[in-house]
Amino acid sequence: MDFSLSPEHQMTQKMVRDFVQKEIAPVIKEYDRRQEPIPFMLKRMGELGILGLPFPVRYGGQGMDYLAWGLACEELEAMDTHLRVVMSVHTGLSAMSIFQWGTEEQKQKFLVPLAKGEKIGCGAFTEPGMGSDVAAMRTNAKRDGDHYLLNGEKMWISLASKADLALVTVKTDPSSPKPSSALSTFIVDLHSEGVKTGDIHGKLGVRAGSTGWISFTDVKVPVENRLGEEGEGFKITMSAFDHGRYTVASGATGIIRAALEASVKYAKTRTTFGKPISEHQLIQEKIAKMSQDYEIARLLYYQVGWLKNAGKRCTRETSFAKKFATEASFSAANEAIQIHGAYGFSDEYDVERYLRNSKGAMIYEGSSEIQTLIQAGYALGERADKPLRCEAPAYDPEFWQN
């Protein structure tokens, strides 16, 4: 197995790192304090091709592979989590699901502008009173001739008030004996009549990110905007989560690295008892653990990227990567604050923001508890991957780059 990065991978890392250092670093504290999105962020990510990194050129993308996508997420979240969240919901939940499940007509109509950054997408799955239990959702759609009427509400939706379209999973067959067969997924124009959106404020972390709600009142959705067949909504949603969890895992790896780098820098300059605190063994223990966790998290998401490139299902491996990296990022940020002492308790230093941001990833895109159940299911032989009608495409350089 070759763990080296190609020149294209290194180019992606440098491009994204340059963007966040030059354009985001000078303003991130201000917008985090104001709890407002950075106004130019989405446009710039589109202009630089970041939003369309892992899609074929023919669909408006940059023709890069799945590992490059993960590398970009690491660099983005090493600066701030809200940047990676965009890659999770716009690129992962929304655009990647259309790439996997959409017809050619849907790809041309929706994927191309998403990959180019001309349109912004989000994934609308969670509802009030319904978190991890996807099959319990109450938002519904009823067929009415050549369209569906959509009613209900989605909550905790990243980019809800910024997106042009949303991938929405709803109940279309309430009488189905299998809850998972009762769901269908639609591509919904959020500028349609009957759609309302709003923002949620007062969040613990990801304060510069846009998080909100979407309500639907008799929203007309054309039949041709249904993604997949009726009753495939659960499968589509679960495959979307696989894509999203990959970005969460690779992004959380960036927080570990950022916490490590900040701790090393501070420990070498802060002096106590006549010597730098980096010479104290208890400080070294904390830094060694961060370094170890970074390497493990990085290798776990590299493995997922490799499996995705090969076109192999990797729900189990993605779950490992997501759970480990998010929990390790919270631990690293917590220890970084401890190393910084009283200064770590102030937003003068970035480590307090890392801690606030890292907590959310242990909840969204499938909580740590859900990941534990997934992993136990595989280990006990009670869970197995069944073939999907539309598997995620394997990376083919000739197809992707033409």
Tell me the domains of the chain and their CATH numbers.
Answer: 7-120 (1.10.540.10), 123-233 (2.40.110.10), 235-400 (1.20.140.10)
Res 270: pLDDT? 96
The string over 384-396, giving b where at least 16 C-beta atoms fall within 10 Å of a residue's C-beta and e elsewhere, is: eeeebebebbebe
Res 133: pLDDT? 75
CA–CA–CA angle 379, 384, 390 (5° rounding): 145
Sign of CA dihedral 46, 51, 54, 59: negative
Res 2: pLDDT? 80
The string over 75-88, giving b where at least 16 C-beta atoms fall within 10 Å of a residue's C-beta and e elsewhere, is: bbbbbbbbbbbbbb
SS3 242: helix
User: Would you say how long the chain is, in residues?
Assistant: 402
Spans of the chain below 50 pLDDT: none
Res 247: pLDDT? 98
Res 180: pLDDT? 79
DSSP of 264-303, one letter per residue? HHHHHH-EETTEEGGGSHHHHHHHHHHHHHHHHHHHHHHH
Token pair for 98 = 């259309």
pLDDT above 70 as % of the chain:
99
Res 176: pLDDT? 84
- pLDDT digit string, tens, across residues 124-151: 999 998 766 776 789 999 999 999 999 9
Res 153: pLDDT? 97
pTM exceeding 0.95 = yes
Token pair for 321 = 């990567």
- pLDDT digit string, tens, across residues 32-66: 999 999 999 999 999 999 999 999 999 999 999 99
Token pair for 360 = 């959310």
Return contacts of 107-115, CB within 8 angstroms, 24+ apart: 107/59, 108/59, 110/165, 110/187, 111/55, 111/59, 111/60, 112/59, 112/60, 113/60, 114/51, 114/52, 114/60, 114/90, 114/165, 115/51, 115/52, 115/55, 115/59, 115/60, 115/61
- pLDDT digit string, tens, across residues 250-306: 999 999 999 999 999 999 999 999 999 999 999 999 999 999 999 999 999 999 999
With contact defined as beta carbons under 8 Å apart, do 197 and 124 qualify? no
Res 175: pLDDT? 85
Other Cβ atoms within 10 Å of 307 Cβ, number = 19
Res 381: pLDDT? 96
Active site residues: 365
Which residue from 296, 309, 288 is spatially nearest to 253, judged by alpha carbons? 296
Amino acid at 6: S
